[in-house]
Amino acid sequence: MPDADGRALAAVVEKPRAEVATEQLRAEGVYDDARKVVEYGAETVALPVTAAPAETDVREVVVQTDPERRGTTLPDLLAERGWSDAEIERAPGSWAVIGSVVLVTLEDCPREAELGDALLELHGEADTVLAHEGVSGERREPDSRVIAGDPTTETIHTEHGTRYALDLREVMFSPGNKAERARMADVIAGEVGPAVETGGSAGTDAETPERVFDMFAGIGYFTLPMARAGADVVAAEINPASYRYLIENAVLNDVQDRVEAYRADCRDVEVDAVDRVVMGYYEAHEYLDTAVSAVASGGVVHVHEATPEVELWDRPVGRIEDAADRAGRGVEIEGRRKIKSHSEGVWHVVVDARIV
């Protein structure tokens, strides 16, 4: 879309800042989705805008004399490459752009390299297409391979102002949990949900930060937004690669003073009387006894689980109640949410439980 004078404008930024700047330009309402992001020299890119940005920091604003239009859809781009209707039907219907990497699940998709090239054309801000083939083991290690673009898979992803450095071939990142990550920051900021009512805690004293135990911290999925919102977080992570990025990301987001990180099994970290426990792992129920013992009376445990639909909500709630009963404590269920489909007939859910 041209500006008021009919010019095709673009904001020039350094390549590492492209995702952050794009998010800021969208927030300003001046980002132009109809045109491609293109390189502007060896170290910068030109982000298409409908007007000169007033709030986003950019190197300069330039006029594009021959702007490149963005392909309308992936099927359109595949058709241009000679794909038949039957082949297009086998192409993925969804994917995620994480920093400079397009993460996609292929299943039985044909012509992988051509698909990768089309996705790079569709997303000019991306450099790499990575085929995701699952996550395995207690350390949640991804299985993936590059199918197009730059073989480098280390990037910085920005989400609601939180910056995540990661290598997608070494550590997992779930785009579908985006809303829940934002929600946990809002919980800490007091924008949603009831306050934690424990003596001397953040719920009763606005000047005292909430103390949070993030039992499966990863690269800081929940730790970082909660710390940025004002919580003091004890973060446990057993995977060495994820732990390294957790430390790096605390510094990257300037919350290193609010994050106490341990490379350890969360059951081996001595934590007690915290206001909140986050259990962001599908098999979290195996660690419920640890969570219940760590949370103060009146504190909240957020339990993630992959639950068959036929067992909603009896199984996750029942497991929490059993753990509380083993500890001689009571439980009040304050919230329960479907996050996303985990697999056919199975939901990723979160239950918020106040332990008394």
141 labeled binding residue: no
Give yes or no for a contact between 136 and 143, defined as CB atoms under 8 angstroms apart: yes
User: Contacts from 249-253 at CB under 8 Å and sequence distance 24+?
Assistant: 249/163, 249/164, 249/165, 249/219, 249/220, 249/224, 250/220, 250/223, 250/224, 252/156, 252/163, 252/165, 253/162, 253/163, 253/220, 253/224, 253/227, 253/228
163 annotated binding-site participant:
no
Q: What is the sign, positive or negative, of the torsion defined by CA atoms of 205, 206, 209, 210?
A: positive
Instruction: Determine whether the annotation assigns residue 107 to a binding site.
Output: no
Cα–chain-centroid distance for residue 249? 13
Provide the H-helix boundaries in the chain. 18-28, 74-80, 85-89, 112-122, 178-189, 223-228, 240-252, 288-294, 314-326
Which is it for the CA torsion 126, 127, 133, 135, positive or negative? negative
Binding residues for S-adenosyl-L-methionine: 174, 181, 237
Q: Which residues are annotated as a binding site?
A: 174, 181, 237
